[in-house]
Amino acid sequence: MNSFASLGLSKGLQKTLATTGINKPTLIQEKVIQALMEGKDVMAKAQTGTGKTFAYVLPILEKSKSNTHHVQSLIITPTRELAIQVTGEIRKLTRKNKGFSVLSVYGGKSHEEEIKELEKNVTIVVGTPGRLLDHQKRGNLDLSHLMFLVIDEADQLLQIGFLNKVEEILRKTPAQRQTMLFSATIPADIKKLGRKYMKTPQFIEVAEAEKSTSINQFAIFTVDRAKQDTVIQLIESFQPSKSIVFCRTKRRVTKLYQVLKSKGYKVAELHGDIPQEKREVVMEQFRNGDVPMLVATDVASRGLDIEGVTHVFNYDMPEKAETYIHRIGRTGRAGETGLAYTLYSSEERSLLDGIETELNCRIQKQNLGNTISLKTKTASKKKGEKRQGKRKSKELESRTRGKDKFKDKQMTSRKSSNSPEQKPSKHSEGTARETKPDLTGRRTGKKSSSKTYNQKNKR
């Protein structure tokens, strides 16, 4: 893997990255940065969580001119949350560079505040299509000197019907700009957009191995009326430090949120009807851990790079494989292991089958009892190695079983010698063997697993 230095990034930018704990590029960063530094247009197929934001931000910062009086870069995002997030990442990288300024524009904010900021010679603008187009039409946003244009999460822009607004923005930008398009999937309409507005773009795709290999995925069958109890038992069992529960509709989000809150959980809700200011507060509380659980619609499934999400629960089945990918992609980020549980009913089984077919994978099915007893599978790699060591010990024990058997007989004989009339019987040897651990670590003849299951279900 190349280093940031070999990709052409300056020492100053490398140092800034190092202070944030980033020393080596991810695979998508390596491929995209190299192409962008060479001046090529790029169309990249990549999931969130692979480091794609820095893949386009770093070359932009490297190639931009400081202390200019016009907008040099425009980044188009499908949601306000993603616009805020990208703006925050750029500010981290440019905190010590006074020659750069970045502004996010989106619906729900005051027009007047944004206009005042735009008049201050902003270098980079990040925003949603509707608000960007509005500022463009009012003459507040001058893109005549634009050098770099990024279309982030292009497939979601297509899904929510914003692609026509994106095209309208693109038509009013200079033809000589460098264009970057990022998308989790590349449907026909996205390809058409690329051919129309990009100059022979280089297509880049992240290898399968870098996608969701760090996310353990399971599915639990239930009925709709039992979903509340099921998800509560999962939460009580796993005690996640930071989790997201996805529901299909705003109404179901609010209902589940109220139930969880009434049971004493620190939880917040997030959906389209929540006012923008409150949404920003909720996301900040979730990021810093003040609220460790979020119940949300798919407004939170895309583009939000939130550190430390350990568990994702799909309370309702997503209708598309693409949505499923984005939901579970909130966990298992930055090299950490994540856990995703999907609840499905008989009516939703066809959706689950369709997702498995489209993703060419099989999601492991479990019942609730097995799930709770197997919760230790989500432990850290060190615990996994410890378990592996135990398995090796048991294999060694198996190989020396003959010696152990002989010792057991000796012990039985010694005990019997205290009573000369009593001789070791087959029954006594059998009893000694029964109290010895078998290869699964349980003592034979005992039903410990069912006891554990019943105890946990009494909570």
Task: Note down pLDDT in tens along the chain; length 459 residues.
Answer: 578 999 999 998 999 898 877 888 988 999 999 999 999 999 998 776 678 899 999 999 999 987 778 899 999 999 888 898 899 999 989 887 777 899 999 987 888 889 999 988 899 999 999 999 999 999 999 999 999 999 998 988 887 889 999 999 999 999 999 999 998 888 899 999 999 999 999 999 875 444 445 789 999 999 899 999 999 999 999 999 999 999 999 999 999 999 999 999 999 999 888 887 888 889 889 988 999 999 999 876 665 667 789 999 999 999 888 789 888 988 887 667 889 999 999 899 999 999 888 887 889 888 776 565 545 444 444 444 444 555 544 554 555 454 444 444 454 444 444 444 444 433 333 333 333 333 333 344 444 443 333 444 344
Q: Are residues 168 and 217 in the same domain?
A: no
Q: Are residues 178 and 297 in the same domain?
A: no
pTM: 0.61
pLDDT at 100: 84
Which of 349, 377, 405 represents a domain boundary (last residue)?
A: 377
Structural domain boundaries, residue 190? 11-208
CB atoms < 10 A from the CB of 450, how many?
A: 11
Q: Are residues 202 and 217 in the same domain?
A: no
Q: Are residues 247 and 292 in the same domain?
A: yes
pLDDT at 416: 44
Strand partners, 342: 219, 314
pLDDT at 373: 54
Q: Are residues 190 and 221 in the same domain?
A: no
Domain membership flag for residue 182: yes
Which of 208, 243, 274 represents a domain boundary (last residue)?
A: 208
Q: Are residues 90 and 163 in the same domain?
A: yes
Q: Which two tokens stand for residue 303?
A: 């583009």
Q: Are residues 167 and 24 in the same domain?
A: yes
Domain membership flag for residue 79: yes
Domain membership flag for residue 371: yes
The count of domains in the chain is 2
Q: Are residues 179 and 248 in the same domain?
A: no
Q: Are residues 172 and 229 in the same domain?
A: no
